[in-house]
Structure 1
């Protein structure tokens, strides 16, 4: 079990703390929802969690197989709907090293598509994912 805490600091700002490490993340409401957009919004963190989870689980699998993923990167674009206000779509684009063997790529892609964050998201959410081997 991992404990995380948050303190509301006023003006739609929260300070989140990761219990085991003491690391902090600040959040703010987005400009389109009465905030100033000065930090990640809570829903932005969902997109960031998805992208970083995919990279992390691929790295865990690749490391076991002696495949180097250093400099791989991901971008996630979030689209919201208003009624009810929620994330409608997270578009994920991963850029991976060209040196990854062709016969290994499907294994990595399957690992990413089954990351814990993706599996935890609502099935109605659209999550298109693209893999590019161009680094």
Structure 2
């Protein structure tokens, strides 16, 4: 669960899970101060982080020589009805092509990727 609350600067929001915190903000051209992650950047970070974790875990479980994985995620919202996530993956280590393909296949079951592919339902309740 994440708790989000507005800060004194317009459009700045602090968020946290009880152990870690961060700041979200809009860019200056949108009325924010540009001093934090934009909301859509947090979506990109969630997907990229999950992909790296899944690939790293898979490689370790199968004894594959993955030194590290890097994922660059770009969200394209140019079509208002489609959220298109482009993921550029870099796998470092002494890997064969077959090992790279296995790691990439494992990434397809990334929980965040699967969640983003689901129908989304948002419910709201108001607390006083």
- Check whether TM > 0.5: yes
Task: For residues 55-95 of structure 1, give each alpha carbon's deviation from its aligned partner in whole angstroms, at most 9, with x where no partner exists.
Answer: 101111111112243332111122234857xx732211011
> Is the 2:64–2:95 contact (alpha carbons within 8 Å) kept by the matching residues of 1?
yes
Cα 1:31/1:92, change in 2 over 3 Å: farther
> Is the 2:2–2:17 contact (alpha carbons within 8 Å) kept by the matching residues of 1?
yes
Instruction: Please give the residue correspondences for 1:106-121 in structure 2 after superposition, counting only pairs within 5 Å.
Output: 106-121=101-116
For the residues of structure 2 that align with 1:90 and 1:34, how far apart are their CA atoms? 26
For the residues of structure 1 that align with 2:7 and 2:109, how far apart are their CA atoms? 36
Q: Indicate the structure (1 or 2) with the bigger Cα radius of gyration.
A: 2
> Is the 2:91–2:100 contact (alpha carbons within 8 Å) kept by the matching residues of 1?
no
Instruction: Please give the residue correspondences for 1:20-35 in structure 2 after superposition, counting only pairs within 5 Å.
Output: 22-31=19-28, 33-35=30-32
Structure 1: 5+ residue stretches without partners: 125-135
Structure 2: 5+ residue stretches without partners: 120-128
2:84 is matched with which residue? 89
> Is the 2:68–2:93 contact (alpha carbons within 8 Å) kept by the matching residues of 1?
no
Q: 1:7 aligns with which of 5, 9, 20?
A: 5
The structure whose residues are more often strand, as a share, is: 1
